[in-house]
Amino acid sequence: MKTLHFCKYHGAGNDFVLIDNRDNKNSLSNEEVALLCHRRLGIGADGLMLLEKSNNSDFEMVYYNSDGRKASMCGNGGRCIVAFAKHLNIIDKQTSFEAYDGIHSAEIIEWYNNCGIIKLGMDISANIEPCLKGWKVDTGSPHYVEFIDDDITKYDVVNNGRRLRYNNVFHPHGTNVDFISQINDNEIFATTYERGVEDETLSCGTGVTASALIYNQMKNTPDGNYEIKVHTKGGLFSVYFKKTNENYTDIYLQGPVTLVFEGDIALP
């Protein structure tokens, strides 16, 4: 039996188990990751991250979905691991770290009692394509976004999201699915059915980013710099970006991060 020390964080309700693995002593199987993320048998989380050493930046983020499989970039996970690195005294207010899709920059905007507001550079150039009744875009993870005219807070995200997540258009790996509605000009509400979690999450960083970009594209706005406020069931985000000839660059995701608790757990 082995014992792991961990911290649990959430970024606007999107929760993660974080483990300091700079000594490379914590090798976890897919089954062990899934157990740790299980909400009845383990700690409970939407995903798990190992913070490891990097030769190219302050640290490396190794991300797993709650089903135990390694996954692509996670925006809220990236913001949470920055808070974890601050907690470990690896960084101060600014950092760069290595992830599945390359090097990401981040900045701690506010910080108090291991909680704060963190701005993450998504470090992508996003191209939006029409798809089915909506649009698709890769913001570090693939997303399909559809606009909803009805009350989105009552929309069946799980069943509609699951149906689209496995649509043949997204074969063989599937996609994350987001549903959005407008609140005010440059302000939207977004919900996400997240692959790997296979359920609705209270928020999703790459989904919030995808939703903001596609909303801007829908409005047929001129070139320029933009901020879109995105409300989710877990909290409020700001997405900043530059639009040039329908291409999106200089993309940043900003939102809250909270330390839930710290502890030790024994694995069988």
Instruction: Give the up-direction half-sphere exposure of residue 97: CA atoms within 13 A in the CB hemisphere.
Output: 33
8 A C-beta contact, residue 240 and residue 227: yes
239: Cβ contacts below 8 Å, ≥ 6 apart = 208, 209, 212, 213, 227, 228, 230, 251, 252, 253, 254
Enter the tokens of residue 4.
Answer: 């792991």
Q: Where are the beta strands (DSSP E) in 139-235?
A: 142-147, 176-184, 187-194, 199-201, 224-231
> Strand, coil or helix: what is 22?
coil
The answer to whether 74 is a known catalytic residue is yes
Q: Catalytic one among 7, 37, 74, 80?
A: 74
DSSP letter at 170? Answer: G
Enter the tokens of residue 78.
Answer: 């990236």
The closest alpha carbon to 35, from 24, 25, 48, belongs to 48
8 A C-beta contact, residue 192 and residue 160: no
Q: Catalytic one among 7, 37, 80, 204?
A: 204
Task: Tell me the β-bridge partners of 222.
Answer: none
Enter the tokens of residue 75.
Answer: 């925006």
Residues with a catalytic annotation lie at: 74, 204
